[in-house]
Amino acid sequence: MALALKSTCFVQLKRPKSCYAFRSSRQLAVVSTRRSTTMAALSTVATIGISETFAKLKKEGKVAFIPFITAGDPDLSTTAQALKLLDSCGSDIIELGVPYSDPLADGPVIQAAATRSLAKGTNFDAVISMLKEVVPQLTSPVALFTYYNPILKRGVEKFMSIVNDAGVHGLVVPDVPLEETEILRNEALKYNIELVLLTTPTTPTSRMKAIVEASEGFVYLVSSIGVTGARGSVSARVENLLRDIKEATTKPVAVGFGISKPEHVKQIAEWGADGVIVGSAMVKVLGEAKSPEEGLKELENLTRSLKSALI
Amino acid sequence: MTSSIKSDLFLTNKLSFARNERSFSSMKRAVSNNLVAASAVKSGSKPLHVERALRVRKIDEIERGERRGKFGIYGGKFVPETLISCLGKLEADFNFVLHDAEFQAELAIALRDYVGRETPLYFAERLTNYYKNENGEGPDIYLKREDLNHCGAHKMNNAIAQAMIAKRMDRQRVVAATGAGQHGVATAAACAKLSLDCTIFMGSEDMEKQASNVFLIKLLGAQVTKVEGSFKDASSEAIRQWVNDLEVSYYLTGTVVGPHPCPSMVREFQSIIGRETRRQAMERWGGRPDVVVACIGSGSNALGIFHEFVGDEGVRLVGVEAAGFGLDSGRHAATLATGHVGVYHGAMSYLLQDQEGQVLGAHSVGVGLQYPGVGPELSFLKDTGRAEFHTVTDEEALNAYQLLSRLEGIIPAMEAAHALAYLEKLCPTLPDSTKVVVNCSGRGDKDAPLFFQHRPALDA
């Protein structure tokens, strides 16, 4: 316990006043050595888990801001910096997408990000190495977003063990329906990974109830019928869906897909969501910028503007 | 002809009904029907009774699991949650039309008058003689002429039935992905007939190789949307489009992959191939086929002819996949031969993937075989050992393409040429007069330019 506190303090002392991420690799090296000597005995990281984060925010009357970026776009070191940037700019939970060759649930922005990342040679092991270095420097818990096939390839148990070692707290697997989640849930439970399930506008109420019952960490409410990608406005039915879910469960509900503007964020918070997830908009500014530095700057601007809608 | 197609479909209804009901009494009824039919056979009565006798569908693991959408561990619905209720509705509509006399009657007429069924079971005399050994012994080779279907491939059997379902579900728009273009053409044609809007997704690489099909799709009034890559990318994009638009559009699967109920639906509509074959075999030589051979891309034509015979242990089922440049080359489409179990496009099945679990591209000179996945039902047949699977290289397929053209004056689709190519290895092992039926799944006019690109010397 004491060791954990010490490392948290260390992180806070080192956090700069501005929102710029750590750039000096020397500092990074210092952090790593510290971590390896003091943290060797611990299997968990200093940050709290996803459910606990939501519980804390609820007490403070706050709505969680949850950004999503694709690992390895434009490259893994930029991702590392982006994670730290998002963390210090006030993200409460961070979703990291593992690039996949055939992302069925993703629209053109995230598809393109995955393609760019894979072309750079990003693979799962590299993403995990990066996380092992970066996660201890974050105060927000990290949830991985991945498709099922890469999990199956490694073996569900092995996957959970690797991901837990890297300090990840949550998992979202968009192409596994409720019926097939049992194996995932059992293994995730053993390794303290919270498996977040998705419910959508097409999900009938009875099924929604089963989904919210089984979901851990939070309930991911997909705001629209379709794949990921920014939309002009948020559908009004999100309000009704939020209400129905809240009648069925006390678990926190975060809304995602299509959210890109502060107005969207504000609206969803007003409707009673416990969290707002922003993906494609973030991926776009980071991945499609002229340079990584510019991308990070744009990311910071976007994060600040979206976060301000929640204050 | 109407009566035989209608009776095929009607009997499917009854049997599916029996299967779905799964009551003890319906099983008993089936058994007693067979006993009656057996005596009918002896007394030499009408073909209809004989058909019933032959159609002993054992209620087995496949069918039990199938109701949950699984074939053993294979199949399932591995899609984003948004699609799940849509799939449930599709399954309900599918089950309804299977028993709906009106739908079945309409389908029977379409299959007869529009598609041109039944397709002949053709005795390939010169091909048979070609494969005879020095003693003049060898199997008798028959071709199931799916190449004579409207639009030149077996694809129409499924496209017309599903387009009718789309119409029934009041969908205005049909979305489909196509590899070689045959499914695209068939879907566009069916949509023209039923006045439905149609969008066909096709990979940019495939559009180049099968350009004639692109023209046909446009001529038939459908829109072609180009997707960078090949069939697998076109499929992914079509599925995304479906998710975005699922209240208005109908995703017409062309093959036995995808989330449940897609593989079962396509298989059900393609299984008319096998049912006709059984009847034709009985008429022709008074028995069943001994060996049934089909090429496998994702498996629609293979399951179409296999499914009827899965319960008949005496019938050997041989699937032939594309070895492309060779199994070691990394450029092939031999999913069952070299793939590993994974989840792809909504189903758990064998899959060509790397150690990371990323999906690999497939290659074959038979463009319609280029798919890194394979139907979950075929994965099940492989694991249970009910069917055997082999591979054939591009070169062997090209040879077979030319051979059939020269020996029988029939130009097979390059995909079907893979099944024909396997005869080289198969025939020497078979006793004299073994009855072999090869599913000639399509015609090869579309492949002629491709053939001459590979064999320029012949274009003299």
> What does residue A218 show for φ and ψ, rounded to 5 degrees?
-160, 175
Grade residue B64 by pLDDT with cuts at 50, 70 and 90.
Answer: low
Local structure of A169: helix, strand or coil: coil
Nearest to B359 among A101, A152, A200 (CB): A101
Question: What pLDDT is attached to residue B139?
Answer: 97
Q: Which has the closest alpha carbon to B204: B183, B182, B234?
A: B234
Question: What pLDDT is attached to residue B243?
Answer: 84
pTM tops 0.80, yes or no? yes
By CA distance, what is B86's nearest residue in A? A202
Question: What pLDDT is attached to residue B45?
Answer: 36
- Per-residue model confidence as pLDDT tens digits over A57-80: 999 999 999 999 999 999 999 999
Residues from chain B contacting residue A227 (CB–CB below 8 Å)? 80, 240, 243-244
Please give the single-letter amino acid code of residue B437: V
3-state secondary structure chain B: CHHHHHHHHHHHHHHHHHHHHCCHHHHHHHHHHHHHHHHHHHCCCCHHHHHHHHCCCCCCHHHHHHCCCEECCEECCCCCHHHHHHHHHHHHHHHHHHHCHHHHHHHHHHHHHHCCCCCCEEECHHHHHHCCCCCCCCCEEEEEEHHHCHHHECHHHHHHHHHHHHHHCCCCEEEEEECCCHHHHHHHHHHHHCCCEEEEEEEHHHHHHCHHHHHHHHHCCCEEEEECCCHHHHHHHHHHHHHHHCCCEEECCCCCCCCCCHHHHHHHHHCHHHHHHHHHHHHHHCCCCCEEEEECCCCHHHHHHHHHHCCCCCCEEEEEEEEECCCCCCCCCCHHHHCEEEEECCEEEEECECCCCCECCCCCCCHHHCCCECCHHHHHHHHCCCEEEEEEEHHHHHHHHHHHHHHHCCCECHHHHHHHHCHHHHHHHCCCCCEEEEEECEECHHHHHHHHHHCHHHCC
Nearest to B342 among A153, A202, A211 (CB): A153
Q: Specify the higher pLDDT residue, A252 or B236.
A: A252
Helices A76-88 and A292-308: crossing angle in degrees, nearest 10, is 30
- Per-residue model confidence as pLDDT tens digits over B267-323: 999 999 999 999 999 999 999 999 999 999 999 999 999 999 999 999 999 999 999
Residues from chain A contacting residue B339 (CB–CB below 8 Å)? none
Nearest to B81 among A153, A203, A227 (CB): A203
- Per-residue model confidence as pLDDT tens digits over A253-309: 999 999 999 999 999 999 999 999 999 999 999 999 999 999 999 999 999 999 999
By CA distance, what is A101's nearest residue in B? B358
Residues from chain B contacting residue A180 (CB–CB below 8 Å)? 76-78
Contact A102 B359 (CB under 8 A): yes
Please give the single-letter amino acid code of residue B159: A
Smallest CA–CA distance, residue A198 to chain B, in Å, is: 7
- Per-residue model confidence as pLDDT tens digits over B334-368: 999 999 999 999 999 999 999 999 999 999 999 99
Q: Which has the closest alpha carbon to B286: B77, B33, B44, B19?
A: B44
Q: What is the mean pLDDT of residues A244-255?
A: 96
Q: Are β-strands B249-251 and B173-178 bridged in parallel, bridged antiparallel, or unpaired?
A: parallel
Other beta carbons within 10 angstroms of residue B388's beta carbon come to: 14
Active site positions of A, annotated: 95, 106
Lowest-confidence region among A123-137, A188-202, B10-24, B215-229? B10-24
Question: What pLDDT is attached to residue B67?
Answer: 64
Question: What pLDDT is attached to residue B160?
Answer: 97
Grade residue B66 by pLDDT with cuts at 50, 70 and 90.
Answer: low
Grade residue B189 by pLDDT with cuts at 50, 70 and 90.
Answer: very high
Smallest CA–CA distance, residue A34 to chain B, in Å, is: 32
Question: What pLDDT is attached to residue B232?
Answer: 86
Residues from chain B contacting residue A174 (CB–CB below 8 Å)? 80-81
Q: Tokens 């569908």 map to which residue?
A: B57
Q: What is the mean pLDDT of residues B169-195?
A: 94
Nearest to A175 among B78, B246, B356 (CB): B78
What six digits make up the tokens of A240?
A: 């009704």
Q: What's the first-to-final CA gap in chain B, in angstroms?
A: 44
Question: What pLDDT is attached to residue A189?
Answer: 92
Contact B80 A200 (CB under 8 A): yes
Grade residue B63 by pLDDT with cuts at 50, 70 and 90.
Answer: low
Grade residue B38 by pLDDT with cuts at 50, 70 and 90.
Answer: very low
What six digits make up the tokens of B230?
A: 């090949």
- Per-residue model confidence as pLDDT tens digits over B98-117: 999 999 999 999 999 999 99
Grade residue A13 by pLDDT with cuts at 50, 70 and 90.
Answer: very low
Which residues lie below 8 Å from residue B369, measured CB to CB, with a gap of 6+? B295, B296, B297, B321, B322, B333, B362, B415, B418
Q: What is the mean pLDDT of residues B230-246?
A: 88
Question: What pLDDT is attached to residue A7?
Answer: 40
